[in-house]
Structure 1
């Protein structure tokens, strides 16, 4: 392998990497099932390919700055073939291919250390259409699509359109004109890794732990209407944006891990003065996580949070009074088997489940009625959260979930 003009060129023996080559034409294309043929063009002089005419070579060199796009924010697993395949696919999906049948991408160069790529298109017009893909989700995260640093606007204007076609079908890939994900601005937040069964109201409830949203867009499949597992939002109070990103990023939801960050940047670090707010936010998230359960999950055990103050559980008499009051209230909904209210440990060690109340009913119907009746009620100025709790964990004395 050798490098020339910032692009990687391969010899025939390494053709399986999925690269095609700018400045070259094809006289023989291998029949590789499932691959895009234009990604496997052979170099001039290889396997009988005809040499390029000087005029064609000069034209391709002259237009290269206008046919290449910069793609930033790539995942560590991205490679030349996956980038070429993906962008050829999405260009076709939005109707951005204007140079005829085949794949729009002819060459890819990746800088793995800095996680960016140069993607070369067949034509100037296709490169301009690709600029509409800014913010598109590639391998689970939004990527930047920009002009490369050597792009010459005045020269490019003489070569073809410099703006995307306004009739592109961006909705086919979850984008809208001028704003990826339907929301604009530097404070747009990307929320990825969402379990597909989460509803819009559940996701909004989690995000709104930090404040009301100015905009929210759960990206869905156009044909099925099902969630694609990622969303965008903007907060009314922009000062909470970084707090929400730092607090939510990396949290496990079911079998998924959330990726939450500003859509136009990578890792977000909270400012020092935000640390106390962030701590409170993490506590709120812990409560919200209990609420975001798969639809249809029902058990005989209900877990209540924000219903008791741990300080009120220290004295035996106070504890007995709370236990009796709780029993009288919760027996209204069904036959109770057991009530567990974890108490503070006298030696100061952490107590699993402290601050929660666990109600075990004889049947699912009673538990469901209790959850429906208690959830959202005010208790001591706090709004009670009532969720189903796994019976196996409860029976093992595991109150930490």
Structure 2
């Protein structure tokens, strides 16, 4: 159960006119929050002015942490807000473990910039929805925490994002809005260029991506303009398939508008890309950038050719949006799907093999789940199949059929 909001620190006494077990109201503090007191966390006494300053910067000092592991029933009666400086001995274990975990991780990556001590000062947890708001001591430490997206906490990968009340324009006046590029992310099993650092005015929205584009292909396309600081291909939570849009940030933010101008509106397969700053407000490239833009457009033309379905015909086809993942777990359903595929897809020529990857029983990632691979005896038959199957409606979905590298197929590499 959550500790009562009237809990007091040992030795504390109630002042005149104050309800025992509560703290005097401080402007800018929520009534159920415990204010920092003199000597705790090695901080100076929190005066009203200081409290108001903390409240004004709070939106930039908090991070949202989603995907927390499930907790026991008695721990999810209601959301909990607790000040780390006033934890009672009987506080909820996961509440303390979240704060302790992120404090240790911040220290391990070199993300603490506000002096000695723990970076985390407050934690709010919603047990039912499995998310938390973790409040840091400083704006800079919160920005460094953004690099922790994907960190594994008690076996669960966590999403680290800015909260909905985050104001990028205001935050830019309070401190760094991006993680320090010199953070030692390898110390906690992360690598630069993941989804971390995807905030701020230079974040790019990339929409209209064909669903069959892999993460590696999209990265290769975007990196025609330079190295990425962050990249996030948005996927369906149930199937793991691409939703057709992504976000990215370049290490060199000066190429942001160049990339947007070169990529926006170009055809990719059966789609047209929409590429712009995520925070809107388009900016045209400067005249001195035109030569860079021309070179980038030439690179894009080459990439577009390489990614175009049908550009390099092979004997193997990869179909997506033809099977539901939950249908593949049942043996009878799976055999029916296999037989249907052999019958229908064998009409276009000699069908040598049909491979439909199945989900792993233990829930681990299984390469190629949701795809169907068709190996034909010759390229001509595979081409006929692709021409007939691509774009066909199946179960309300539009089938996507693309040629698949034969060497990857023969090696059992179905993640391409």
Query: TM-score, normalised to structure 2's length?
Result: 0.38
TM-score normalised by the chain length of structure 1:
0.39
Q: Which has the larger radius of gyration?
A: 1
